[in-house]
């Protein structure tokens, strides 16, 4: 499971494994205390190299949790803000200059598909669909449809 934390990715990159992570108070699965469980590498858009992200393990249920900066959705290397800006520019039929075009196109295709599948709205409602999907707990540019 991913646990979102309020951290600065640039600080993590600068300090590496010496970055001082705050340990989450409890396991989101069972409520027990968590133990540090090493690091994994993660890539973020504006950084040339991967950064070390801490993991935790629950001694009760055995779940392994990965910390993730709040500014990023799971499995996305761009910030949620940049993705939102990209979709808004697409709505105005323009490209975001600092993000590769194939990635922007992929987000746009996924967004349109998800808006149709989850909300069932037509083309004219797309400007509102991004925020609506987020308010329903969905990642608007993901292939995954979150349940409940």
Q: Which residues bind Zn ion (CB under 5 A)?
A: 27, 29-30, 32, 58, 60-61, 63
Between 61 and 121, CB nearer to Zn ion:
61
- Name which of 35 and 136 has its Cβ closer to Zn ion: 35
* 84 contact partners, CB below 8 Å, separation of at least 6: 130
CB of 64 to Zn ion, least distance (A): 10
* Residue 60 or 145 with smaller CB distance to Zn ion: 60
Compute the least distance from the CB of residue 55 to Zn ion, in Å. 13
Closer to Zn ion by Cβ: residue 3 or 63? 63
Nearer to Zn ion, 50 or 60 (CB): 60
Q: Which among 66, 71, 78 is positioned nearest to 40, based on CA atoms? A: 66
CB of 35 to Zn ion, least distance (A): 11
Burial of 41 (0-12, 13-18, 19+ CB in 10 A): exposed
Min CB(42)–Zn ion separation in Å: 22
* Distance in Å, CB of 63 to Zn ion, minimum: 5
Beta bridge partners of 42: 51
């Amino acid at each position: 499971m991913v646990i979102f934390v309020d951290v600065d990715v640039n600080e993590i990159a600068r300090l590496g494994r010496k970055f001082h992570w705050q340990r989450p108070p409890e396991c989101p699965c069972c409520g027990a205390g968590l133990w540090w469980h090493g690091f994994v590498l993660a890539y973020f858009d504006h950084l040339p190299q991967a950064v070390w992200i801490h993991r935790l393990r629950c001694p009760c249920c055995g779940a392994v949790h990965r910390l993730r900066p709040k500014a990023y959705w799971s499995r996305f290397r761009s910030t949620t803000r940049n993705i939102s800006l990209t979709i808004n520019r697409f709505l105005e039929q323009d490209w975001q200059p600092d993000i590769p075009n194939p990635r922007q196109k992929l987000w746009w295709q996924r967004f349109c598909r998800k808006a149709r599948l989850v909300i069932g709205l037509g083309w004219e409602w797309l400007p509102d669909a991004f925020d609506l999907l987020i308010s329903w707990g969905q990642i608007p540019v993901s292939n995954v449809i979150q349940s409940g």
